[in-house]
Amino acid sequence: MKKNIKKINWFAQHMHRAMHEIKVKLKYCDLVVNVLDARCIRATMNTELLKLTKNTPLVHIALKSSLADADFKAVPSISYLDIAQCDFCARFKSIIMEKLHDKIAKLKTKGLKKPQLTIFVVGLPNVGKSSLINRLSRSHKAIVQNTPGVTRNLQLIKISDCVAIYDTPGILYNTLDHIKVSYILATVGCINPAILPIDKIVEYNCNFYFKFYEKEIREYFNFKLKYEFEKFIDFICQKYFLISHGNKLDLRRAYMMLFKLFKDSTITKVSYDREEFEE
């Protein structure tokens, strides 16, 4: 996959502030939970952010696993969960306690019956950090919206008598070197799709699906022609009667319809990690 010549910068002021605050408060942190999107592990793995946590125990949690291609849930160091699962809290607690077992045992030998532990939840915008915390605390203390950049400051939330979690703002890379990574992040909601041409986001996804999920996308739309992006969009316009004034095909509506299907993984469960990226 070729690198994009023009890098995309989307590192808002609140992200700079949050990076600094995380760095300062990490010395009081017992564990870092890095939240990923199970559909695109590599694209949502912010290595720049993780450099700050190198001296702190770390676990990777991939959310939205019900939307992800099961064939690509194969990274041993990552736990794949879905907030909607009834056993989510129990599984999450088990993962955390296993990682903190030695530290808790050490604190108890010092006479602490209920050690007070602090966990940082980090990740890209809109990967599900606040939803995870709300599920654990069985409340709606953390701000949740299905748009990037909602949490702007660190929020400390108690989820039990001995565990408190910092919900941190979503932090993107300083620059996005690969334009196709930008298309993926826009599709799953980690960056605002409005900063990119919608036709290019949709074209990337169409090409990706016809390369890796051809059977599924053909069956979904009952598309039997040879695939070419422009012809496929024309087919969508005609199939769904997307016609504008002057009896012209309404390409914009076709793009928006397809974008929503890709965003919600409606056509099929998907893994964008199927595609290799150049270093």
In the annotated binding site, the residues are: 126-131, 170
Contact 124/172 with Cβ under 8 angstroms? yes
CA separation, residue 217 to residues 186, 214, 274 (Å): 20, 5, 16
Rounded CA-CA distance 163/30 in Å is 10
**Alpha-carbon torsion angle 179, 183, 189, 195, nearest 10:** 70
Query: 205: which 2 tokens?
Result: 């996804």
Rounded CA-CA distance 39/68 in Å is 5
Length of the chain in terms of residues written: 279
Binding site listing for GTP? 126-131, 170
